[in-house]
Amino acid sequence: MHLPVMAGEVVELLKTDPAGIYLDLTVGTGGHLEALSRSLADDSRLYGIDKDQQALLLAEKKLESCSQKIELVCGSYGEAVTVLKNYPDVSFDGMLMDLGLSSLQLDKMERGFSFRDDGPLDMRFDPQLGGRTAADLLQTATEKKLAEIIKTYGEQRQATRIAKAIVRERQDKMILTTLQLKNIITGIIPPPYQNKACARVFMALRIAVNNELSTLEKALPDLITILKEKGRLAVITYHSLEDRIVKRFFQKEVKGCTCPPEFPICVCGNKPRLKLVNSKPILPSESEIRENPRARSAKLRVAERIAV
């Protein structure tokens, strides 16, 4: 069962109008929307977007008992502004992005996200859209590129050695399964660091396959345009690179002006569009981490739209 991370904190910080309009940009199986629904008036409206059609089917079933009108849409949060043009509500009182993987994705061995069980090295969020898989990436990327991906996205110190081992292995046979990749990594990394190394390499490949960081960077400025004045944007991250992107974006929009510090007056004309709701990221409680270990690296940042 997938437990929504920091659901209580999300509801408390995101809800500005009990009868408002709210959007979950990474709805998954619907856990956060379900929690939000319980605290909203019956005439509020809820939307959910996700690239994973299988997740949307489960979310639809989970949310069918909610009293509010709920619209679930298949698509990427990076295309939210375009995807929602066909719906009556085009601006929101609150929006949530939860950038973590769901249990649905991790527990399905055929999705290739986990090294716990053997399965095909896919790792695409929406296989129906096509595109390259993790196996494709391992087969075609240069040793230098593989090392860069593993070091940058996985923050794995032995990235060069692992990349060399991958290239050496693929000269004999294609690397097509999660078990093959796990065996390569554990052949390089000694105990007790093998699981951590596997987790980092698998995460790095997933980020690369789905272009997660570039999608996030492009999406954030667009999302502000569909946020009402006093509406809030909440983002849960699980990786330092994701968190850095969100933190810097919020800081930039809080400051507004982009003029060099030595300029005596502002000449760029950029005005602040956000104010921080929490100056430091909110972390899950110890009790939540015990109940849901996947929440341990989560950070929640929230910002509010201001008049320009």
List residues bridging with 170 in a β-sheet. none
The confidence band for 281, taking pLDDT boundaries of 50, 70 and 90, is very high
Cα torsion angle, 220, 221, 226, 231, sign: positive
Taking 90 as the threshold, does the pLDDT of residue 125 lie above it?
no
Distance, in Å, from the CA atom of 251 to the CA atom of 244, rounded to the nearest integer, reads: 10
% of residues, the chain, pLDDT over 90: 81
Over the stretch 45-67, which tens digit does the pLDDT of each residue have? Answer: 999 999 888 889 999 999 999 99
Mean of the pLDDT values across residues 205-215?
Answer: 95
Q: In the predicted model, what is the mean pLDDT of residues 214-238?
A: 96
Q: Report the distance separating Cα 41 and Cα 133, nearest Å.
A: 43
Are 7-104+212-305 and 126-209 in the same CATH fold? no
Cα(60)–Cα(34) distance, integer angstroms? 10
CA dist 266 and 173 (Å) reads 60
Instruction: Kindly report, residue by residue over 166-183, the tens digit of the pLDDT.
Output: 999 999 999 999 999 999
**How far is Cα 89 from Cα 91, in angstroms, rounded to an integer?**
6
Q: What is the pLDDT of residue 65?
A: 94
DSSP type of residue 156: -
Specify whether the CB–CB gap between 122 and 135 falls below 8 A: yes
Identify the CATH number of the domain defined by range 126-209: 1.10.150.170
- Residues 278-285 have a mean pLDDT of 96
SS3 content of the chain, % helix, strand, coil (to 5): 45, 15, 40
Cis peptide leading into residue 120 (ω within 30°): no
Is it the case that residue 1 has pLDDT exceeding 60? Answer: no
Average pLDDT over residues 221-232: 96
CA–CA distance, 146 with 112 (Å, rounded to integer) = 18
CATH of span 7-104+212-305: 3.40.50.150
Greater pLDDT, 30 or 269: 30
> Which pLDDT tens digit goes with each residue over 248-276?
999 999 999 888 888 888 888 889 999 99
> Rounded to whole angstroms, how far apart are CA atoms 6 and 30?
14
Strand order in the sheet with 45-50: 69-74, 45-50, 21-24, 92-98, 227-237, 299-305, 274-276
Q: What is the pLDDT of residue 115?
A: 94
Helix axes 159-170, 178-188, angle to 10 degrees: 130
Q: What confidence score (pLDDT) does residue 88 get?
A: 87
What confidence score (pLDDT) does residue 106 get? Answer: 80
The chain-wide mean pLDDT, for the chain, equals 94
Residue 3 has pLDDT above 90, yes or no: no
Domain boundaries, the chain: 7-104+212-305, 126-209
CA distance 274 to 305: 5
How many whole angstroms separate alpha carbon 287 and alpha carbon 305? 32
